[in-house]
């Protein structure tokens, strides 16, 4: 990701935090506070067994579109002739980390509106546990920086 874009995202995260959480803290927090750089990185205490299950389920059902290890399609930013977008990466290099866990789960279970999105619905095909496993696996792919930004952007992680 170009560094300018990253900085913009950091800044918007900072504004989001200082703007919306006024009741919880007295003043704006520094970027390094927000990214938890002073107190070390945000730990991901994921269960390795669950990560493996998520990877297996993903590679059975999702990799056909989203690619091995969720790398997406090369031109995922360019819409198809029908106006719908190709499957994006889910490894923290696209938009997946802009969503809370609840929104990620809903996207997977309900899919996108068929007129504008080619993302199928998985409700009734995958169990909620399988979807949880996939979401944990996806988060395990994100870099520490992306995970930290995601972590600090959502109260309802
Ligand atoms: C038929 C192809 C296809 C399959 C199979 C598929 N997806 Fe998708 N998925 C897409 C497309 C296309 C999009 C982008 C939708 C849009 O732009 O509205 C998408 C979007 C998503 C998003 C939202 C990403 C974002 O950045 O907001 C998530 C999360 C996701 N898919 C997860 C999954 C998971 C998990 C599976 C397997 C259970 C799966 N997908 C299977 C095509 C697919």
Domain assignments of the chain as residue spans, ordered by start: 46-143
Question: Ligand 1, atom 8: nearest CA belongs to which residue?
Answer: 119
CA of 115 to the centre of ligand 1 (A): 14
Q: From 105, 96, 99, 104, select the one nearest 141 (Cα to Cα).
A: 96
Mean pLDDT for the chain overall: 85
When comparing pLDDT for 30 and 22, which is higher?
30
Q: How many residues does the chain have?
A: 157
136 lines ligand 1 (CB under 6 A): no
pLDDT band for 42, please (50, 70, 90 cuts): confident
Query: Are 137 and 55 a contacting pair, CB within 8 Å?
Result: yes
Top mutation candidate among 53, 65, 136, 146 for ligand 1, by most atoms within 8 Å of CB: 65
pLDDT average, residue stretch 24-38: 57
Per-residue pLDDT of 64-86, as tens digits, reads 999 999 999 999 999 999 999 99
57 lines ligand 1 (CB under 6 A): no
Rounded to whole angstroms, the Cα distance separating 81 from 7 reads 33
Taking the model in full, what pTM does it have? 0.80
pLDDT band for 155, please (50, 70, 90 cuts): confident
Rounded to whole angstroms, the Cα distance separating 90 from 114 reads 20
Locate the ligand 1 atom nearest the alpha carbon of residue 58 and give its number: 37
pLDDT score for 93: 97
Top-tier CATH class for 46-143: mainly alpha
Rounded to whole angstroms, the Cα distance separating 121 from 114 reads 10
């Amino acid at each position: 990701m170009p560094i300018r874009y990253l900085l913009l995202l950091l800044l918007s995260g900072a504004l989001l935090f200082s703007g919306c959480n006024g009741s919880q803290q007295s003043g704006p927090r520094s970027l390094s506070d927000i990214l938890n750089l002073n107190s070390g990185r945000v730990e991901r205490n994921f269960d390795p067994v669950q990560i493996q299950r998520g990877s297996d389920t993903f590679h059975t059902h999702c990799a056909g579109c989203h690619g091995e290890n969720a790398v997406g399609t090369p031109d995922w930013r360019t819409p198809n002739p029908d106006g719908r977008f190709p499957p994006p990466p889910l490894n923290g290099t696209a938009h997946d980390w802009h969503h809370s866990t609840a929104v990620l789960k809903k996207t997977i279970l309900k899919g996108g509106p068929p007129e504008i999105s080619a993302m199928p619905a998985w409700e009734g095909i995958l169990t909620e546990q399988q979807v949880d496993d996939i979401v944990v696996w996806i988060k395990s792919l994100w870099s520490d920086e992306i995970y930290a930004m995601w972590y600090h952007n959502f109260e309802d992680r």
